């Protein structure tokens, strides 16, 4: 489906529909111009006929997309706090922490599905994140040759 509200203004689409209703332009040409299918076109025509003055193709989201429920957020923080003791314990040598464990725990214990990046972001915000340590190169030798096959 084409994103009409990003490509066209309300007035432009309104004008094309008016010209279609006056039989100045055929439907298939308007569909081609707008880049939509027959069903979408007739849906727009129907909306225009219901309210020509209030007709609009602008799209407004009613719900924010990137939001998780408060209870899920609280459970993530709760589990990260429990795991923080393990991460900060100097007797347990950890180089990395597997945040997938927290994800699996949330699914199993609370029946809440959360993406791994969300858990890692919450860990970074709350100070529960164990940063990756930079590693040295495993070798320090350099081979100098003047041409291919010189080492043989």
Q: Do residue 46 and residue 94 come from a single domain?
A: no
pLDDT computed for residue 47 by the predictor: 94
Q: What domain range includes position 117?
A: 70-126
pLDDT computed for residue 151 by the predictor: 62
Q: What is the tally of structural domains in the chain?
A: 2
Calculate ∠ Cα 35-41-44, nearest 5°: 120
Angle between helices 70-88 and 116-126 (to 10 degrees): 70
pLDDT tens series, the chain, 152 aa: 558 888 999 999 999 999 999 999 999 999 999 999 999 999 999 999 999 999 999 887 777 777 888 999 999 999 999 888 877 777 877 777 889 999 999 999 999 999 999 999 999 998 888 777 777 776 667 767 777 776 65
Q: Do residue 93 and residue 122 come from a single domain?
A: yes
Distance of alpha carbon 76 from alpha carbon 105, whole angstroms: 10
pLDDT computed for residue 24 by the predictor: 95
Residue 84: Cβ-neighbour burial (10 angstroms; 0-12, 13-18, 19+): middle
pLDDT computed for residue 152 by the predictor: 59
Evaluate whether residue 24 is within a structural domain. Answer: yes
Calculate ∠ Cα 61-62-63, nearest 5°: 95
Evaluate whether residue 99 is within a structural domain. Answer: yes
Distance of alpha carbon 125 from alpha carbon 139, whole angstroms: 36
> Residue 8's closest CA among 29, 36, 43, 39?
36
């Amino acid at each position: 489906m084409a994103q009409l509200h990003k490509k066209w203004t309300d007035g432009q689409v309104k004008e094309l529909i008016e010209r279609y209703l006056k039989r100045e332009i055929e439907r298939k040409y308007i569909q081609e111009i707008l880049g939509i299918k027959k069903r979408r076109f007739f849906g727009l025509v129907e909306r225009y006929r219901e309210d020509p003055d209030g007709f609009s193709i602008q799209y407004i989201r009613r719900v924010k997309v990137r939001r998780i429920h408060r209870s899920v957020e609280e459970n993530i923080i709760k589990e990260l706090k429990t795991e923080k003791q393990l991460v900060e314990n100097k007797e347990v040598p950890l180089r990395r922490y597997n945040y997938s464990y927290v994800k699996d725990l949330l699914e199993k214990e609370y029946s809440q599905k959360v993406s791994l990046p969300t858990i890692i972001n919450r860990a970074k915000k709350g100070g529960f994140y164990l940063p990756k340590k930079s590693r040295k190169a495993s070798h320090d030798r350099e081979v100098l040759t003047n041409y291919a096959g010189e080492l043989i």
